[in-house]
Amino acid sequence: EFDKNMQEAVAAKRFHHQWLPDEVEAEKGAFNEATILLLQQKGYKVVPRGAIGRVDAILLTPAGYQGGADPRGDDTTNGY
């Protein structure tokens, strides 16, 4: 999705919208300044955060498997 392979998708910056408290937590670089300003103008409180979770993933494609290891930790991918 979004023309990313599995590693790029796993490594992408993350954000989380919380209902209570009503705020948007975002990793540094998840949004550019224009997006943050737009969200604030719409009434959202944007809170900067460090890493949001860790993910490892495997995707089966017609060409085979793709793995993604989260760079937020010491994760790795291997295949054979």
Range of the domain at 41: 6-69
Q: Is residue 31 assigned to a domain?
A: yes
Q: What is the pLDDT of residue 19?
A: 86
pLDDT at position 66 is: 94
Q: Is the peptide bond before 21 cis (omega within 30 degrees of 0)?
A: yes
| Interval 30-64: pLDDT, tens | 999 999 999 999 999 999 999 999 999 999 999 99
Q: How far apart (Å, rounded) are the C-alpha atoms in residues 40 and 37? A: 5
pLDDT in tens, 15-27: 999 888 889 999 9
Residue 74 lies in a domain: no
Please indicate, yes or no, if residue 78 is contained in any of the structural domains.
no
The pLDDT of residue 47: 97
Pairwise CA distance, residues 78 & 25, whole Å: 32
Give backbone dihedrals phi and psi of 58, rounded to 5 degrees, phi first: -130, 135
From start to end of the chain, where are the E strands? 15-18, 23-27, 46-49, 56-61, 64-69
The answer to the question of residue 76 being in a domain is: no
**Residue 23: predicted pLDDT:** 94
> What per-residue confidence (pLDDT) applies to 26?
98
Give the chain's domain count. 1
